Structure 1
């Protein structure tokens, strides 16, 4: 069974947000590697449709960025950025 039209729109919007707005490794100017974050989209989509709150989505993005990708930086700034991205996803 496939996704509803609405879910497809949300899924594509999440993919776009991860690419354009989240972009933790700063590569979104290179369309040749557009698929870089697409492996993260399914889980973020699942969180969204299951009704996860901003905190839960932000924590997931933060974990991806810091643990999975090994990015470092000011924890507060990174977390705030993840919360901003999570809010965009919640509002879809």
Structure 2
């Protein structure tokens, strides 16, 4: 579920329309799952994803829909 959410909903570099790139965000799934399972709040989760986007991917700012993605991820674990 987290993998699908990162691919379909997060997609900060806009590649989810390319089937060949379906594994583009797989390296982030484990870290996101760890945060969710450890009880991290929305702020921590948002900070981590924003860090990935700006530092790891080199984007100038986090995606505009990041808060929606965080809410969806938190809902997966009942928060």
Fold in common (TM above 0.5): yes
Aligned length: 76
Consecutive unaligned residues of structure 2, counting only runs of 5 or more, are none
SS in 1 for 2:65: helix
The 5-angstrom pairing of residues 30-49 of structure 1 reads 30-49=18-37
Q: Following TM superposition, where does structure 1 have runs of at least 4 consecutive aligned residues deviating by more than 4 angstroms?
A: none
User: Are 2:37 and 1:53 aligned?
Assistant: no
Corresponding residue for residue 10 of structure 2? 22
Alpha-carbon distance, 1:18 to partner: 0.3
What is the TM-score when the length of structure 1 is the normalising length? Answer: 0.77
TM-align CA RMSD: 1.2
Larger Rg: 1
Consecutive unaligned residues of structure 1, counting only runs of 5 or more, are 1-12
What is the TM-score when the length of structure 2 is the normalising length? Answer: 0.89
SS in 2 for 1:39: helix
Corresponding residue for residue 66 of structure 2? 82
